C-alpha cells in the first residue's frame, strides 16, 4: 500500500455532489420527506423571528407604554410562539428521522453490494487484495461515502431558509439587510478554503484506516507465528507505526477543523453585532421600528447555527468522495467468473476430464487501466504454474495426484472445483466445460477439502452443516466416514460443542476430519482432497480412504481426486498422475509407475523414509518418557 497521500481530484465538490445525487436517486421518497421536514424547520425558524417581532410591537411595547395588557393579547402571543415552536420541533424530528433512515439504508445497501461483489469475484482477485483493505472497503469506506447524507437535508433547508430570510430582510430594511448579507459570501469563501485544505488530509486519514486494519488483521491471523518466534515486539512496533501515522493524520484533520470551525461559528455572530449596530442607528433615525430590529437580530441569531450545516456537508464531502472511490473500485472490479446455462444434475459420481490445462499467476499490474493496480485476465502474468496438464477420472474412480512441492498440485485442485479458471484448456465435468455450467452448478457437484483447514467459532454441527438443513443422522454418517464420530461423541456436548476460533480446542487431525465431514455430508459427485489428511495418522487415513471407496460401492459415492504423499494412500488410488514443474510426466497405476518412473519412485520412497524417521523419533521419545515415569 502506498504511504503517501492519494491524489486529490481538482473538482472534489462536484464529485461529492455526484455521490449525493446517487443517494437521492436511490431513495427519492425518503429524501423528499427529509427535505420537506427540513423546509418546515426552516420556515418556522424564519417565522419565529416574525412572531417575536410581532409580539414586540403588539404585546411587549404596548404593555410598557400603557402599563397594562389584555389576556387576549397575551394568549395570542403565547399561542403564536408555542405553535411555531411545535411545528419547528416536528420539522427537526422529521428531518433527523428521515435523514438517518436514508443514510442507514444507503450504508446497508452498499455494504450488501460490496459483500455480494466479494462473493462474485474469483479467488485470484482476492489474492491480490489484502483482507484488511477489503474489510475497510465494506465498513469504513461505506460509512465515509454516505456521511454527508445526515446533514444534507438540513443544508437544503438552510438554502430555503436563506432565500426566505433574505427576502424578509430586504422587505424590512435594505441597508440592514445588506450589512447582514455580507456574512454569507464570507462563509462561502471560508468553506471553499476549508474544503481545499481538508481534502488531502481526509483522504490520507481514510487510506491509513485501511492500512491499520490490514496490519491488525495480519497480526491476529499470524498470532501463532508471532508468539512462537518471539516477534511480539516487532509486530507491536509495526502496528504502532501505522497507528501513529493514522493518529497524526487525524490530528492534522483536527487542526484544520480547529482553525476553521471557530471562524464559521464567529461569522454569523459578528453579523448579528453588525446588524444591531446599523439597526440601532436606523432606529434612531426613524427608518426602522423596534419590532423589525428585534425580528432581524433574532433571525440572524437563529441562522448562526443552521448555516453551519452547509459547512458540515462540505467538510464531509472530501471523505465521502474518497470512500466512494474506494467502494466503486470494488464494485467496478472485473475478473468475475462467467457462467453458462448447462446444469450438472446427473446422478452418481461425476466424470472428470482435465484437457491441456494451463495456468499462471498474475503480477500486480494495472493492465486493465481501472486504477485498482491489477489486471483482469488469469494467466497473463509471469509465474507459470501448469503447462498442458491432461488426465481423466471416470465416474467413481479415485485418482491420486503426486508431485514434489511447488509442482502445481494445489493450483490444480482449485481449477477442478472452479475457484479459478484456466488460462488455456478446459476442466470438464460430465463432458461439460465447467465455464459453461450454470451459477452454483459446480459448487453443488464438487467439494474441496484444502490443505489449510478453517473452522468457524461455532458448534461441531454448525461447522459441518454451515447452516444447511441437514438431518443429524446424515451428519453422523459423514462424521463416521471421516473417522470423526468417536472424538465428537466424547466432547462435552457432542455435536453441540463449540470448537473455538479456527477450531482452537481441537487437534490438527481432528480439524481436518471435521473439514472432510463438512465436504462429504453434502454427498458431492466429485470430491477433491488437497493433502486433506496430512495431520491424521496413517491408520486413520487408511480407514477414511477405505470408507470413501466403500461408499462408492454402496451408493455410487463420489469420484475422488486426492493429492497424496503416503505410499499407503497412493496405492489405494485407481490411477496416479505424476506432476513435476507443472507438467504431467507420467500416469498409471501406482505399481507400474514405481517400475518405470525413476523420479516417481525416488519421490514416493523419499516421503516414506522421511515419515519412517519421524515415527522412529516419536517412538523413541515415547519410550524415554515411559522410562522416566517408571523410574
pLDDT tens digits along 402-413:
888 888 888 888
What pLDDT is attached to residue 307? 65
User: CA-to-CA distance for 88 and 85, rounded, in angstroms?
Assistant: 5
What pLDDT is attached to residue 572? 78
User: CA-to-CA distance for 158 and 95, rounded, in angstroms?
Assistant: 12
**Left (φ > 0), alpha (ψ -120 to 50) or beta: where does 97 sit?**
alpha
- CA gyration radius, the chain: 36
Residue 329 predicted with pLDDT over 80: yes
| Number of neighbouring beta carbons within 10 Å of residue 127 | 12
User: CA-to-CA distance for 276 and 340, rounded, in angstroms?
Assistant: 75
pLDDT per residue as tens digits for the range 440-496: 788 888 888 887 788 888 888 888 888 788 888 888 888 888 788 888 888 888 888
What pLDDT is attached to residue 550? 67
Angle between helices 307-331 and 71-120 (to 10 degrees): 20
User: CA-to-CA distance for 465 and 469, rounded, in angstroms?
Assistant: 7
- Residue 242 makes CB contacts below 8 A (sequence gap 6+) with 208, 211, 212, 215
CATH 1.20.1560.10 intervals, the chain:
12-331
What pLDDT is attached to residue 4? 35
**What is the three-class DSSP state of 528?**
strand
Q: Are 296 and 49 in contact (CB under 8 A)?
A: yes
Bridge partner residues of 526 (DSSP): 446, 559
420-429, 540-549, 579-588: segment of lowest average pLDDT: 540-549
Q: Are 204 and 246 in contact (CB under 8 A)?
A: no
Task: For the domain covering 393-418+438-601, report its CATH number.
Answer: 3.40.50.300
Which pLDDT band, with edges at 50, 70 and 90, does 622 fall under? very low
Which pLDDT band, with edges at 50, 70 and 90, does 304 fall under? low
- The highest-level CATH class for domain 12-331 is mainly alpha
Which pLDDT band, with edges at 50, 70 and 90, does 613 fall under? low
Residue of 56 and 19 predicted with greater confidence: 19
Quick one: which of 494, 420, 413, 403 has its CA closest to 452? Answer: 413
Written as one string, the DSSP assignment of 372-384 is SS---STT-SSEE
Q: Are 58 and 77 in contact (CB under 8 A)?
A: yes
Residue 35 predicted with pLDDT over 50: yes
Please give the average per-residue pLDDT across 595-599, as a whole number: 84
Alpha helix ranges (H) inside 121-182 = 123-127, 131-136, 142-145, 152-172, 174-181
Q: Are 398 and 574 in contact (CB under 8 A)?
A: yes
- Residue 159 makes CB contacts below 8 A (sequence gap 6+) with 310
Q: Are 390 and 356 in contact (CB under 8 A)?
A: yes
**DSSP code of 575?**
E
What pLDDT is attached to residue 321? 81
Report percent pLDDT > 90 for the chain.
0
446: phi then psi, degrees, rounded to nearest 5: -115, 150
- Residue 258 makes CB contacts below 8 A (sequence gap 6+) with none
5-14, 103-112, 326-335, 498-507: segment of lowest average pLDDT: 5-14
Quick one: which of 276, 298, 279, 306 has its CA closest to 48? Answer: 298
Please give the average per-residue pLDDT across 26-45, as a whole number: 86
Residue of 552 and 135 predicted with greater confidence: 135
Residue 333 predicted with pLDDT over 70: yes
User: CA-to-CA distance for 607 and 600, rounded, in angstroms?
Assistant: 11
What pLDDT is attached to residue 303? 64
Q: Are 299 and 333 in contact (CB under 8 A)?
A: no
HEC per residue, 198-216: HHHHHHHHHHHHHHHHHHH
What pLDDT is attached to residue 611? 59
74-88, 154-168, 259-273, 356-370: segment of lowest average pLDDT: 356-370
What pLDDT is attached to residue 262? 75
Please give the average per-residue pLDDT across 244-250, as a whole number: 87
CATH 3.40.50.300 intervals, the chain:
393-418+438-601
What pLDDT is attached to residue 311? 63
Which pLDDT band, with edges at 50, 70 and 90, does 554 fall under? low
What pLDDT is attached to residue 629? 41
Q: pTM of whole model > 0.85?
A: no
Q: Are 582 and 361 in contact (CB under 8 A)?
A: no
Which pLDDT band, with edges at 50, 70 and 90, does 371 fall under? very low
What pLDDT is attached to residue 302? 63
Q: Are 172 and 361 in contact (CB under 8 A)?
A: no
Segment of 102-106, 181-185, 506-510 carrying the highest mean pLDDT: 102-106
Residue of 548 and 25 predicted with greater confidence: 25
Pairing outcome for strands 398-402 and 575-580: parallel
What pLDDT is attached to residue 6? 36
What pLDDT is attached to residue 625? 46
Which pLDDT band, with edges at 50, 70 and 90, does 379 fall under? very low
What pLDDT is attached to residue 139? 81
Angle at 356 between CA 350 and CA 360, to 5 degrees: 105
503: phi then psi, degrees, rounded to nearest 5: 70, 40
In the predicted model, what is the mean pLDDT of the chain?
76
Residue 5 predicted with pLDDT over 50: no
Which pLDDT band, with edges at 50, 70 and 90, does 308 fall under? low
58: phi then psi, degrees, rounded to nearest 5: -105, -15
Amino acid at each position: 500500500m502506498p504511504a503517501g497521500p492519494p491524489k486529490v481530484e481538482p473538482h472534489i465538490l462536484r464529485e461529492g455532489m455526484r455521490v449525493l445525487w446517487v443517494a437521492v436517486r436511490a431513495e427519492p421518497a425518503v429524501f423528499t420527506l427529509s427535505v420537506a421536514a427540513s423546509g418546515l424547520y426552516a420556515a418556522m425558524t424564519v417565522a419565529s423571528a416574525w412572531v417575536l417581532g410581532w409580539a414586540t410591537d403588539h404585546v411587549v411595547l404596548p404593555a410598557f407604554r400603557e402599563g397594562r395588557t389584555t389576556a387576549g393579547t397575551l394568549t395570542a402571543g403565547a399561542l403564536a410562539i408555542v405553535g411555531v415552536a411545535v411545528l419547528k420541533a416536528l420539522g427537526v424530528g422529521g428531518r433527523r428521522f428521515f435523514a438517518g433512515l436514508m443514510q442507514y439504508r444507503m450504508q446497508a445497501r452498499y455494504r450488501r453490494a460490496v459483500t455480494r461483489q466479494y462473493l462474485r469475484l474469483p479467488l485470484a482477485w482476492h489474492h491480490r487484495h489484502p483482507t484488511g483493505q477489503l474489510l475497510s472497503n465494506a465498513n469504513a469506506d461505506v460509512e465515509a461515502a454516505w456521511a454527508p447524507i445526515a446533514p444534507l437535508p438540513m443544508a437544503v433547508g438552510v438554502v430555503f431558509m436563506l432565500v426566505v430570510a433574505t427576502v424578509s430582510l430586504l422587505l424590512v430594511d435594505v441597508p440592514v439587510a445588506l450589512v447582514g448579507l455580507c456574512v454569507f459570501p464570507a462563509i462561502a469563501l471560508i468553506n471553499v478554503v476549508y474544503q481545499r485544505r481538508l481534502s488531502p488530509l481526509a483522504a490520507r486519514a481514510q487510506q491509513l484506516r485501511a492500512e491499520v486494519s490490514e496490519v491488525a488483521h495480519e497480526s491476529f491471523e499470524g498470532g501463532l507465528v508471532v508468539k512462537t518466534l518471539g516477534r511480539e515486539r516487532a509486530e507491536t512496533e509495526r502496528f504502532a507505526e501505522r497507528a501513529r501515522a493514522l493518529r497524526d493524520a487525524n490530528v492534522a484533520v483536527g487542526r484544520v477543523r480547529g482553525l476553521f470551525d471557530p471562524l464559521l461559528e464567529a461569522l454569523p455572530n459578528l453579523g448579528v453585532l453588525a446588524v444591531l449596530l446599523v439597526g440601532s442607528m436606523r432606529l434612531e433615525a426613524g427608518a426602522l421600528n423596534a419590532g423589525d430590529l428585534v425580528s432581524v437580530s433574532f433571525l440572524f441569531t437563529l441562522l448562526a447555527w443552521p448555516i453551519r450545516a452547509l459547512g458540515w456537508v462540505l467538510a464531509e464531502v472530501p471523505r465521502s468522495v474518497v470512500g466512494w472511490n474506494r467502494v466503486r473500485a470494488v464494485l467496478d472490479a472485473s475478473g468475475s467468473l462467467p457462467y453458462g446455462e448447462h446444469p450438472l444434475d446427473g446422478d452418481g459420481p461425476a466424470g472428470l476430464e482435465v484437457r491441456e490445462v494451463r495456468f499462471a499467476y498474475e503480477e500486480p499490474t494495472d493492465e486493465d487501466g481501472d486504477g485498482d493496480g491489477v489486471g483482469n485476465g488469469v494467466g497473463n502474468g509471469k509465474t507459470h504454474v501448469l503447462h498442458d496438464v491432461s488426465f481423466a477420472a471416470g465416474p467413481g474412480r479415485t485418482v491420486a495426484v503426486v508431485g514434489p512441492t511447488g509442482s502445481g498440485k494445489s493450483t490444480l485442485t482449485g481449477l477442478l472445483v472452479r475457484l479459478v479458471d484456466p488460462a488455456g484448456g478446459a476442466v470438464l465435468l460430465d463432458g461439460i466445460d465447467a465455464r459453461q455450467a450454470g451459477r452454483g452448478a459446480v459448487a453443488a457437484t464438487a467439494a474441496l477439502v484444502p490443505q489449510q483447514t478453517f473452522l468457524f467459532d461455532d458448534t461441531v454441527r454448525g461447522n459441518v452443516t454451515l447452516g444447511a438443513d441437514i438431518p443429524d443422522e446424515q451428519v453422523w454418517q459423514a462424521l463416521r466416514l471421516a473417522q470423526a464420530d468417536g472424538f465428537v461423541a466424547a466432547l462435552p456436548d457432542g455435536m453441540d460443542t463449540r470448537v473455538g476460533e479456527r477450531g482452537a480446542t481441537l487437534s490438527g487431525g481432528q480439524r481436518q476430519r471435521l473439514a472432510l465431514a463438512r465436504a462429504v455430508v453434502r454427498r458431492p459427485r466429485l470430491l477433491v482432497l488437497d493433502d486433506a489428511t496430512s495431520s491424521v495418522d496413517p491408520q486413520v487415513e487408511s480407514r477414511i480412504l477405505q470408507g470413501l471407496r466403500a461408499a462408492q460401492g454402496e451408493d455410487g459415492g463420489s469420484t475422488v481426486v486426492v493429492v497424496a504423499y503416503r505410499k499407503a494412500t497412493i496405492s489405494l488410488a485407481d490411477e496416479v498422475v505424476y506432476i513435476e514443474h507443472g507438467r504431467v510426466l507420467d500416469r498409471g497405476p501406482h505399481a507400474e509407475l514405481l517400475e518405470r518412473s525413476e523420479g516417481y519412485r525416488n519421490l514416493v520412497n523419499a516421503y516414506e523414509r522421511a515419515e519412517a524417521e519421524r515415527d522412529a523419533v516419536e517412538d523413541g521419545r515415547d519410550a524415554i518418557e515411559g522410562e522416566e515415569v517408571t523410574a
